[in-house]
Amino acid sequence: MNYYQLNIFDFFIICSIIYFGDKMNKLKIKDLTMMGLFLAILIVASKISFQIGPIPITLQTLSLALVGLILGPYKGVIVVLTYLVMGLIGIPVFSQGGGFDYIFKPSFGYIIGFIPMILLIGIGRNFNNKSMKYLFSIFGLIIDYIFGVIYMYLIMKYYLDINKDIIELINLGVLPFILKDFLSIILASIVYERLNVFINNEDKNMDIKYNKELFWTGVCQVDTPK
């Protein structure tokens, strides 16, 4: 009889599903609507691309930064995991299509790196200091670069049988994108600051309306003396 051996990656996936599944139960309709909206934005941004070497240039960095800043860490990660699963089961949401074979593309490491990137950007938004927001966003971007370059190296060397050193891969998969990605981070932060004021005002108005409804409901339920 063959037994399946649980490895550390499987354990991480199971724990993630349990954790984020529990979080999903606590989400409001507004949260789910926002997550669906930003998932659609991420998919559209992935499709606006042109190729430089093995890596396509897209608007993903801008859309990912907005996802992390506006939705926060765990809702942002749910959006990215949904995007990842959709692509791997064959829905053409990635820049060059979809399907499980996509894991053999040199650029797939950058998609995996979206997960820690979103976590860091989402955590960074909780700081009142703007410099910390930028710092966490840039750190998340660097982590994504690290995932992408290492994955590209492994796929090229052991799957495509192409020998390139890390410096060459940095020249291919990092340097052409740095300016665009840093500008995307700055633009996303500016957009977030503007939207955040609007969202907070809307939330306050909703809270005021909700409290008024509770007040008048309570007044109406008070027993009047006979």
Q: Is residue 29 part of a domain?
A: yes
Q: Is residue 145 part of a domain?
A: yes
Q: Is residue 3 part of a domain?
A: no
Structural domains of the chain, count:
1
Q: Is residue 226 part of a domain?
A: no
Sign of CA dihedral 134, 140, 146, 149: negative
Q: Is residue 100 part of a domain?
A: yes
For 195, how many CA atoms within 13 A lie in the half-sphere containing its CB? 12
Q: Which of 8-17, 31-40, 197-206 has the lowest mean pLDDT?
A: 8-17
Q: Is residue 31 part of a domain?
A: yes
**Which CATH number belongs to the domain containing residue 44 in this structure?**
1.10.1760.20
Residue with the bigger pLDDT between 182 and 9: it is 182
- Contact status, residue 118 vs residue 64, Cβ threshold 8 Å: yes
Q: What is the pTM of this model?
A: 0.76
17 has a pLDDT exceeding 90: no
Question: pLDDT per residue over 103-150, tens digit each?
Answer: 999 999 999 999 999 999 999 998 888 889 899 999 999 999 999 999
What is the residue range of 48's domain? 8-221
Residue-level pLDDT at 32 = 86
Q: Is residue 14 part of a domain?
A: yes
DSSP-based three-state secondary structure for 115:
helix
Assign 38 a pLDDT band (cuts: 50, 70, 90). very high
